[in-house]
Amino acid sequence: MNVTLKVWRQKNSKSKGHFETYKLNDLNPDMSFLEMLDVLNEQLIHEDKIPVEFDSDCREGICGQCGLTINGRPNGHHHHTTTCQMHMRHFEDGDTILVEPLRASAFTVIKDLKVDRSAMDRIMQAGGFVSVHTGSAPDANSLPIGKMDAEDAFDSAACIGCGTCIATCKNSSAALFTSAKITQLATLPQGEIEREKRVVAMVDAMDAEGFGSCTNTEACEMECPQEISVTNIARMNFEYNRALLLGKK
Protein backbone atom coordinates (compact mmCIF):
# COMPACT_ATOMS: atom_id res chain seq x y z
CA MET A 1 0.00 0.00 0.00
CA ASN A 2 1.01 3.61 -0.54
CA VAL A 3 0.56 6.46 1.91
CA THR A 4 1.48 10.11 2.15
CA LEU A 5 2.80 11.13 5.54
CA LYS A 6 2.75 14.60 7.00
CA VAL A 7 5.16 14.43 9.90
CA TRP A 8 5.86 17.10 12.52
CA ARG A 9 9.54 18.03 12.31
CA GLN A 10 11.07 20.13 15.05
CA LYS A 11 14.81 20.48 15.57
CA ASN A 12 14.70 21.01 19.34
CA SER A 13 12.49 22.32 22.12
CA LYS A 14 13.28 25.92 21.27
CA SER A 15 12.75 25.84 17.53
CA LYS A 16 9.42 26.20 15.79
CA GLY A 17 8.18 23.04 14.19
CA HIS A 18 6.53 22.41 10.86
CA PHE A 19 4.99 19.56 8.89
CA GLU A 20 6.98 17.79 6.24
CA THR A 21 5.45 15.58 3.60
CA TYR A 22 6.84 12.17 2.69
CA LYS A 23 5.58 9.56 0.26
CA LEU A 24 5.93 5.89 1.16
CA ASN A 25 5.27 3.19 -1.40
CA ASP A 26 4.82 -0.59 -1.28
CA LEU A 27 4.16 -0.82 2.44
CA ASN A 28 3.08 -4.11 3.93
CA PRO A 29 -0.42 -3.59 5.39
CA ASP A 30 0.50 -5.85 8.32
CA MET A 31 3.35 -3.69 9.52
CA SER A 32 2.73 -1.64 12.64
CA PHE A 33 2.65 2.13 12.56
CA LEU A 34 6.10 2.25 14.15
CA GLU A 35 7.50 -0.20 11.60
CA MET A 36 6.15 2.07 8.89
CA LEU A 37 8.05 4.95 10.54
CA ASP A 38 11.15 2.73 10.56
CA VAL A 39 10.74 2.30 6.80
CA LEU A 40 10.44 6.07 6.47
CA ASN A 41 13.61 6.56 8.48
CA GLU A 42 15.54 4.05 6.36
CA GLN A 43 14.39 5.92 3.29
CA LEU A 44 15.52 9.22 4.83
CA ILE A 45 18.92 7.79 5.77
CA HIS A 46 19.39 6.54 2.18
CA GLU A 47 18.58 10.06 0.99
CA ASP A 48 21.14 11.42 3.45
CA LYS A 49 18.46 13.22 5.43
CA ILE A 50 17.95 13.34 9.21
CA PRO A 51 15.59 10.56 10.36
CA VAL A 52 12.43 11.29 12.34
CA GLU A 53 12.83 10.95 16.11
CA PHE A 54 10.10 9.05 17.94
CA ASP A 55 9.84 7.05 21.17
CA SER A 56 9.28 3.32 21.29
CA ASP A 57 10.29 0.39 23.43
CA CYS A 58 8.39 -2.90 23.72
CA ARG A 59 6.27 -2.47 20.59
CA GLU A 60 3.80 -4.91 22.14
CA GLY A 61 1.34 -2.44 23.62
CA ILE A 62 2.65 -2.97 27.14
CA CYS A 63 5.17 -0.31 28.05
CA GLY A 64 3.48 2.96 27.07
CA GLN A 65 6.66 4.41 25.64
CA CYS A 66 5.35 5.07 22.14
CA GLY A 67 2.62 7.62 21.69
CA LEU A 68 1.91 9.82 18.71
CA THR A 69 -1.01 11.91 17.61
CA ILE A 70 -2.22 10.30 14.40
CA ASN A 71 -4.74 12.22 12.30
CA GLY A 72 -5.66 14.44 15.23
CA ARG A 73 -6.15 11.69 17.82
CA PRO A 74 -3.61 10.30 20.29
CA ASN A 75 -2.67 6.79 19.13
CA GLY A 76 -4.91 7.04 16.09
CA HIS A 77 -8.54 6.35 15.42
CA HIS A 78 -8.90 3.18 17.50
CA HIS A 79 -10.07 3.33 21.10
CA HIS A 80 -7.94 1.81 23.87
CA THR A 81 -4.77 1.21 21.92
CA THR A 82 -1.15 2.28 21.88
CA THR A 83 0.51 3.66 18.76
CA CYS A 84 2.53 0.45 18.24
CA GLN A 85 -0.72 -1.54 18.09
CA MET A 86 -2.03 0.57 15.22
CA HIS A 87 -1.31 -1.28 12.00
CA MET A 88 -1.17 -0.05 8.45
CA ARG A 89 -4.19 -2.25 7.62
CA HIS A 90 -6.22 0.18 9.74
CA PHE A 91 -5.62 2.79 7.04
CA GLU A 92 -6.73 2.93 3.41
CA ASP A 93 -4.36 2.69 0.47
CA GLY A 94 -3.52 6.20 -0.68
CA ASP A 95 -4.36 7.83 2.68
CA THR A 96 -2.67 10.99 3.86
CA ILE A 97 -1.68 10.48 7.49
CA LEU A 98 -0.87 13.36 9.78
CA VAL A 99 1.60 12.60 12.59
CA GLU A 100 2.14 14.99 15.48
CA PRO A 101 3.66 14.54 18.93
CA LEU A 102 1.44 14.16 22.02
CA ARG A 103 0.53 17.73 22.91
CA ALA A 104 0.30 19.46 26.29
CA SER A 105 2.19 22.46 27.61
CA ALA A 106 3.77 20.15 30.24
CA PHE A 107 5.03 17.89 27.42
CA THR A 108 7.91 19.75 25.82
CA VAL A 109 8.89 18.54 22.37
CA ILE A 110 12.49 17.31 22.58
CA LYS A 111 12.80 16.62 18.87
CA ASP A 112 10.30 15.83 16.12
CA LEU A 113 7.76 13.43 17.64
CA LYS A 114 9.61 12.86 20.90
CA VAL A 115 8.23 14.63 23.96
CA ASP A 116 9.49 15.00 27.51
CA ARG A 117 7.00 13.21 29.78
CA SER A 118 9.10 13.50 32.95
CA ALA A 119 6.36 15.68 34.50
CA MET A 120 4.50 12.41 35.09
CA ASP A 121 7.53 10.93 36.82
CA ARG A 122 7.67 13.90 39.16
CA ILE A 123 4.00 13.39 40.10
CA MET A 124 4.88 9.77 40.89
CA GLN A 125 7.89 10.81 42.96
CA ALA A 126 5.69 13.11 45.04
CA GLY A 127 3.67 10.25 46.48
CA GLY A 128 3.21 7.27 44.22
CA PHE A 129 4.89 4.89 46.65
CA VAL A 130 4.48 3.25 50.05
CA SER A 131 7.12 3.57 52.75
CA VAL A 132 7.66 0.08 54.15
CA HIS A 133 10.62 -1.81 55.50
CA THR A 134 11.99 -3.96 52.77
CA GLY A 135 13.48 -7.30 53.64
CA SER A 136 12.40 -10.83 53.07
CA ALA A 137 9.07 -11.30 51.35
CA PRO A 138 6.17 -11.37 53.84
CA ASP A 139 4.09 -14.51 54.25
CA ALA A 140 1.31 -14.83 51.72
CA ASN A 141 -2.04 -13.79 53.17
CA SER A 142 -0.44 -12.31 56.28
CA LEU A 143 -2.26 -9.13 55.30
CA PRO A 144 -5.83 -10.04 54.33
CA ILE A 145 -7.17 -8.06 51.36
CA GLY A 146 -10.66 -8.62 49.98
CA LYS A 147 -10.94 -10.05 46.49
CA MET A 148 -12.83 -7.01 45.15
CA ASP A 149 -10.36 -4.55 46.69
CA ALA A 150 -7.48 -6.49 45.18
CA GLU A 151 -9.20 -6.45 41.77
CA ASP A 152 -9.96 -2.72 41.98
CA ALA A 153 -6.40 -1.91 43.05
CA PHE A 154 -5.06 -4.02 40.21
CA ASP A 155 -7.30 -2.29 37.65
CA SER A 156 -5.91 1.07 38.78
CA ALA A 157 -2.35 -0.23 38.89
CA ALA A 158 -2.63 -1.26 35.24
CA CYS A 159 -1.85 2.33 34.18
CA ILE A 160 1.31 2.33 32.05
CA GLY A 161 1.92 6.07 32.29
CA CYS A 162 1.88 6.63 28.54
CA GLY A 163 0.34 10.11 28.69
CA THR A 164 -2.48 9.38 26.26
CA CYS A 165 -5.07 10.60 28.79
CA ILE A 166 -3.30 13.95 29.06
CA ALA A 167 -2.85 14.32 25.31
CA THR A 168 -6.48 13.46 24.61
CA CYS A 169 -7.86 15.83 27.25
CA LYS A 170 -8.93 19.24 25.96
CA ASN A 171 -7.61 20.67 29.26
CA SER A 172 -4.42 18.57 29.28
CA SER A 173 -5.47 17.34 32.69
CA ALA A 174 -3.39 14.63 34.33
CA ALA A 175 -6.31 13.63 36.54
CA LEU A 176 -6.69 10.07 35.18
CA PHE A 177 -2.99 9.27 35.46
CA THR A 178 -2.58 10.79 38.94
CA SER A 179 -5.81 9.34 40.26
CA ALA A 180 -5.00 5.81 39.13
CA LYS A 181 -2.00 5.62 41.45
CA ILE A 182 -3.81 7.40 44.30
CA THR A 183 -6.74 4.99 44.00
CA GLN A 184 -4.54 1.92 43.79
CA LEU A 185 -2.79 2.78 47.03
CA ALA A 186 -5.91 4.12 48.78
CA THR A 187 -7.65 0.79 48.13
CA LEU A 188 -4.92 -1.28 49.77
CA PRO A 189 -3.99 -1.43 53.47
CA GLN A 190 -0.33 -0.84 52.56
CA GLY A 191 -1.24 2.63 51.33
CA GLU A 192 -3.25 3.60 54.40
CA ILE A 193 -0.41 5.17 56.40
CA GLU A 194 0.37 7.86 53.85
CA ARG A 195 -3.17 8.11 52.50
CA GLU A 196 -3.82 11.83 53.12
CA LYS A 197 -0.24 12.96 52.66
CA ARG A 198 -0.02 11.13 49.35
CA VAL A 199 -3.11 12.61 47.71
CA VAL A 200 -2.23 16.17 48.71
CA ALA A 201 1.38 15.80 47.56
CA MET A 202 0.49 14.19 44.24
CA VAL A 203 -2.23 16.75 43.45
CA ASP A 204 0.17 19.58 44.35
CA ALA A 205 2.81 18.05 42.08
CA MET A 206 0.25 17.68 39.28
CA ASP A 207 -0.66 21.37 39.59
CA ALA A 208 2.97 22.44 39.80
CA GLU A 209 3.63 20.78 36.44
CA GLY A 210 0.93 22.92 34.85
CA PHE A 211 -1.68 20.28 34.03
CA GLY A 212 -5.25 21.53 33.72
CA SER A 213 -8.44 20.89 35.69
CA CYS A 214 -10.52 17.82 34.94
CA THR A 215 -13.89 18.84 33.52
CA ASN A 216 -15.22 15.29 33.35
CA THR A 217 -15.56 14.96 29.58
CA GLU A 218 -14.38 11.35 30.07
CA ALA A 219 -12.40 11.45 26.81
CA CYS A 220 -9.38 10.03 28.67
CA GLU A 221 -11.08 6.73 29.47
CA MET A 222 -12.13 6.35 25.84
CA GLU A 223 -8.52 6.55 24.63
CA CYS A 224 -6.66 4.91 27.51
CA PRO A 225 -4.81 1.82 26.22
CA GLN A 226 -5.37 0.16 29.61
CA GLU A 227 -9.01 1.24 29.90
CA ILE A 228 -8.35 2.92 33.23
CA SER A 229 -11.75 4.01 34.53
CA VAL A 230 -12.69 7.64 35.23
CA THR A 231 -14.02 6.31 38.54
CA ASN A 232 -10.41 6.72 39.65
CA ILE A 233 -10.79 10.48 39.24
CA ALA A 234 -13.87 10.41 41.44
CA ARG A 235 -11.88 8.47 44.02
CA MET A 236 -9.03 10.99 43.85
CA ASN A 237 -11.53 13.82 44.44
CA PHE A 238 -12.94 11.91 47.41
CA GLU A 239 -9.49 11.28 48.85
CA TYR A 240 -8.47 14.90 48.35
CA ASN A 241 -11.64 16.33 49.88
CA ARG A 242 -11.32 13.89 52.76
CA ALA A 243 -7.73 15.01 53.36
CA LEU A 244 -8.86 18.65 53.28
CA LEU A 245 -11.67 18.02 55.75
CA LEU A 246 -9.45 16.02 58.08
CA GLY A 247 -6.84 18.74 57.78
CA LYS A 248 -4.07 16.17 57.50
CA LYS A 249 -1.14 16.76 55.27
Which of 84, 106, 160, 162 is in the footprint of other proteins by CB under 8 A?
Answer: 106
Identify the H or E element spanning 73: strand 73-74
CB of 194 to other proteins, least distance (A): 18
Q: Is 177 in the site for other proteins (CB under 8 A)?
A: no
Q: Does 182 bind other proteins (CB under 8 A)?
A: no
Residues 67, 74 contacting (CB under 8 angstroms): yes
Q: Is residue 9 within the footprint of other proteins (CB under 8 A)?
A: no
| Residue 238 contacts other proteins per CB under 8 A | yes
Binders in 137-176 for other proteins, by CB under 8 A: 168, 170-173, 175
Q: Per CB under 8 A, does 116 bind other proteins?
A: no
Nearest distance, CB of residue 69 and other proteins, angstroms: 6
Question: Binding to other proteins by residue 118, rule CB under 8 A?
Answer: no
61 binds other proteins (CB under 8 A): no
Round to whole Å and give the CA distance between 65 and 34.
12
Q: Which residues contact 167 (CB under 8 A, 6 or more apart)?
A: 67, 69, 74, 102, 103, 104, 107
Contacts for 122 with CB less than 8 Å, ≥ 6 apart: 205, 208, 209
The answer to whether the CB of 211 falls within 8 A of the CB of 166 is yes
Q: In what order do the strands lie in the sheet with 69-70?
A: 18-24, 3-9, 96-100, 69-70, 73-74
Q: Report d(CA 239, CA 45) in Å as an integer.
A: 52
| Partners of 18 in the β-ladder | 9
The interface with other proteins within residues 198-217 (CB under 8 A) comprises: 203-204, 206-207, 210-217
Question: Which of 196, 223 has the CB closer to other proteins?
Answer: 223
In the complex, what is the shortest distance from the CB of residue 212 to other proteins, in angstroms, rounded to a whole number? Answer: 3
List residues binding other proteins (CB under 8 A). Answer: 8, 19, 69, 71-74, 77, 79, 98, 100, 103-107, 168, 170-173, 175, 203-204, 206-207, 210-219, 222-223, 230-231, 233-242, 244
